[in-house]
Amino acid sequence: MFTTAQGGPIDPTNLTRAFTTLLRKADLRRIRFHGLRHSTATLLLEQGVELVVIKELLGHAHIGVTATVYAHVRLRLQRDAIDTLSTALGSPAITKANDDTAEPPPCTIVR
């Protein structure tokens, strides 16, 4: 919760204006302030924080909402895990690191 110096609520337009100014001064591309929330959740998920913890931090009423919004991150992490296992078993990585739209590869049995 952000407040003015007098303790009152910040007008959303003023928050956006101040945030845009900070981005410009830092020579960063323009993003929505809400994007910080999404980036935080994505980074936490990628660092192994459990989905239920992220759900609570975001204030989602149901974990299904969190799971749906961040499903693309979870699929990428699953592919990374498959690549790690494949490497540990002596096989080359078989998934594409930057393709978040593809389905996970089918499982194969190594004999």
Question: Do 91 and 68 form a contact (C-beta atoms < 8 A)?
Answer: no
* pLDDT digit string, tens, across residues 8-48: 998 889 889 999 999 999 999 999 988 998 899 999 998 98
**pLDDT the model gives residue 73:** 83
CA distance readout (Å), 110 to 26, 70, 85: 51, 31, 12
**pLDDT the model gives residue 111:** 43
List, in sequence order, the alpha helices (H) in 12-98. Answer: 12-25, 35-46, 51-58, 63-69, 71-88
The token pair at 42 is 């994505």
**Taking the model in full, what pTM does it have?**
0.60
* Greater pLDDT, 49 or 110: 49
For residue 3, pLDDT over 90 is answered with no
Half-sphere exposure of 72 (CA within 13 A, CB side): 10
**pLDDT the model gives residue 76:** 83
**pLDDT the model gives residue 75:** 84
* pLDDT digit string, tens, across residues 41-76: 999 998 989 999 999 999 999 999 898 888 888 888
Across the chain, mean pLDDT equals: 82
Q: How far apart are CA 102 and CA 108, in angstroms?
A: 17
